[in-house]
Amino acid sequence: DIQMTQSPSSLSASVGDRVTITCRASQSISTNLNWYQQKPGKAPDLLIFAASSLQSGVPSRFSGSGSGTDFTLTISSLQHEDFASYHCLQTYSTPYTFGQGTKLEVK
């Protein structure tokens, strides 16, 4: 199985900050990497698919990059509604596997 290592596990930031979250795969997954945002009690929302493609309706302050084993989710200027948990998911091969998640909190 492909292991996904996500970091950091938690992050404190302020409105307006630029934030970066990283996922590393245990082997190359090409660009088969999605990013999700999850708020308490809600289903995850797809932000980025195929490593860098912005899902329809997602604000442009979210961006994704990377290929192979190293991937990054960047929020260019944090807004109040961005404080949530973020998850990466590899869809290169089954079983699909998630990173451990990053909880983004208000500093």
Question: Where on the chain is the footprint of other proteins (CB under 8 A)?
Answer: 32, 34, 36, 42-46, 49-50, 55, 87, 89, 91, 94-98, 100-101
Fill in the amino acid letter for 7.
S
Among 34, 48, 46, CA closest to 4: 34
Instruction: Please list the residues that pair with 13 across neighbouring strands.
Output: 106
Say which amino acid occupies 101.
G
d(CA 75, CA 55): 14
Closest contact distance (angstroms) between CB of 79 and other proteins is 21
Q: Which is nearer to other proteins, 15 or 50 (CB)?
A: 50
User: Is residue 100 a contact partner of residue 7, using CB atoms and an 8 Å limit?
Assistant: no
Q: How far is the CB of 64 from other proteins (least distance, A)?
A: 13
Compare residues 42 and 80 and give the one whose CB is closer to other proteins. Answer: 42
